[in-house]
Amino acid sequence: MGKPFLVVLWLTSILVVSEGQDETLLSVFQGPTEVTIRLSRDPVSLSEGSADYGHMVHKSPVAIMNPVATSDISVLIKFSNSLTVPFKVAARGEAHSVSGQAMTDGGVVVNMSNFRDVNNGGGVLVTSESTAAIGDYVDVGGGQRWIDVLRDTLKRGLSPRSWTDYLYLTVGGTLSNAGISGQTFRFGPQIQNVYELDVVTGKGEEVTCSPEINSDLFYAVLGGLGQFGIITRARIALGSAPSRVKWLRLLYNDFSVLTSDQERLISMNESVQTNIPNYLEGSLLHNESSLDLSFYPQTDRPRITSLINQNGIVYILELAKYYTNDSQTTVDKEVEELISRLKFVPTFVFEKDVSYEEFLDRVRSDELVLRPQGLWDLPHPWLNIFVPKSRILDFGEGVFNGILLNQNLSAGVVLFYPMSRNKWDDKMSAMIPDEEIFYVVSLLQTSTYDKVEAYQKRNQMVLQFCKDAGIQIKQYLPHNMTRNDWTDHFGVKWKVFQQRKARYDPNHILSPGQGIFTEQ
């Protein structure tokens, strides 16, 4: 693209602001020089700041801030608070949200992915000096991606213990939600694996917090949907890294048999039993055109397809067993022993042996296949919910065998796996069901633009089904919620959530895209 063309675009973008934005635009650019020199209104940045992975919501910020130090963010927020009408500030990680949570209409987007400079606290600093109080840890910038955290810690033979399925998400973004995956049943969500945070609050104060100091802010921010402060540094717990992984998929034709196997596996007592999976998830195979059997050997695909044809749905139990060079000789025996107690369809067990990084970064290989086909940048009308264990079979019957099969739409990727409430500290802002064991169920659809509404309608049917059947779910990565929905969502914690908002962000500046305290 030629330079003159860019200049014209830039000038146009200055002119194309909606009426309500004029004043904010003027105020923002009349702020302190420390703020204005970090602001950008170039069309490419503005366009990036007005979209996300969901491709269903678009909002128009007046500017993008590219901070190079924590103090830039602090000055911006303090400046906003000093105005009669403060402007909104939305931290943006990688914008892997699906419903505008990292956006703002008429406010400033803070581009956290710019804040990765190690000299200014935005990098990855691994410390392996275990103390009696805490073990190894890594200090990482809030805008840092988990893939970079993995690669840097691996150089020291260390690794975070709790993950998400996809690693091109930011530390600040997942810690604002929970950060869950197949390791959560053992180590809790990512928010349970944090020793300390640096946060810039909604008043612009730079605060270090932990379970010991400023603990109220610490617990507020973890799972706090960006409402109380912007995370600029997190101290994350590390364990020793394995080198390789036995990665297994076992196929079932009965949902109740699979869930009881899953529940047995996550309930194994680590102090008594040493042979426990390191990762456990579950998913569905539906008979549909987008059926992905790439994990399985070519020669086995026909018999898998015929199992699906016989049953309509096949359920997958996915587990991983990590190993090191030292345990190489024993791992096969351990895997054999582990699965000998499971009730999958005989002979339908499939195994891969991959490096630890390859295993954790597995979704990236899907992305690299989908991107060139234009299938990654389509709308994603996702729904993630936590379902209490006592109702998971009712949910499976009503949703997997009912709603998902009876619609003329693809089921998409469907994940489900259990975790334990006792691995989640209730002081954190994240919300989970009020039952000791609960499942995450993720309906991860990719839609063409013309079908988005149909998928959204189907998601509503799932929520309505739960309501009618009295299944007390909680949404994970909640969105499209009314004020009443939010009150219900936070339940007994709503009052504390409101008090914390008044304490740390009294002018309701931060993360307006969540739609909790503002309409947008």
**Cβ of residue 65: shortest distance to ligand FAD, in angstroms?**
13
144 binds ligand FAD (CB under 6 A): no
Eight-class DSSP state of 297: -
Single out the catalytic residue among 152, 196, 281, 505: 281
179 binds ligand FAD (CB under 6 A): yes
514 binds ligand FAD (CB under 6 A): yes
166 binds ligand FAD (CB under 6 A): yes
Q: Which residue among 67, 107, 173, 388 contacts ligand FAD (CB under 6 A)?
A: 173
Burial (CB count <10 Å: 0-12, 13-18, 19+), residue 284: buried
Q: Which residue among 23, 94, 117, 216 contacts ligand FAD (CB under 6 A)?
A: 94
**Cβ of residue 53: shortest distance to ligand FAD, in angstroms?**
4
**Edge-to-edge strands of the sheet including 413-420?**
349-355, 244-252, 313-323, 279-286, 413-420, 437-444, 383-388, 474-476
**Cβ of residue 393: shortest distance to ligand FAD, in angstroms?**
24
Nearer to ligand FAD, 230 or 387 (CB): 230
182 binds ligand FAD (CB under 6 A): no
Stretch that binds ligand FAD, among 12-20, 118-126, 161-169, 346-354 (CB under 6 A): 161-169
111 binds ligand FAD (CB under 6 A): no
Q: Which residue among 112, 222, 251, 320 contacts ligand FAD (CB under 6 A)?
A: 112
Segments in 326-473 forming alpha helices (H): 328-340, 356-360, 362-370, 392-395, 404-406, 452-468
236 binds ligand FAD (CB under 6 A): no
Annotate 174-208 with DSSP letters as a single string.
HHTT---STTHHHH--GGGGEEEEEEEETT--EEE
Instruction: With H, G, I as helix, E, B as strand and everything else as coil, classify residue 277.
Output: coil
96 is catalytic: yes
48 is catalytic: no
Cα–Cα nearest to 92, from 519, 512, 520: 512
Stretch that binds ligand FAD, among 11-19, 158-166, 267-275, 387-395 (CB under 6 A): 158-166
339: left (phi over 0), alpha (psi -120 to 50) or beta: alpha
Q: Check: CB of residue 189 under 8 Å from CB of residue 420.
A: no
**Cβ of residue 93: shortest distance to ligand FAD, in angstroms?**
3
Segments in 391-490 forming alpha helices (H): 392-395, 404-406, 452-468, 483-490
Interaction pattern, residues 195-234, with ligand FAD; x per rule: CB under 6 A: ------------------------------xx---xx---
192 binds ligand FAD (CB under 6 A): no
Type and span of the H or E element at 246: strand 244-252
**Cβ of residue 195: shortest distance to ligand FAD, in angstroms?**
17
Annotate 300-344 with DSSP letters as a single string.
GHHHHHHHHHHHSEEEEEEEEEEE-TTTHHHHHHHHHHHHHT--P
Q: Summarize as ranges the residues that interact with ligand FAD (CB under 6 A).
A: 53, 90-97, 101-102, 112, 142, 164-166, 169-170, 172-174, 176-181, 225-226, 230-231, 363, 477, 511, 513-514
Active-site amino acid positions: 96, 165, 281
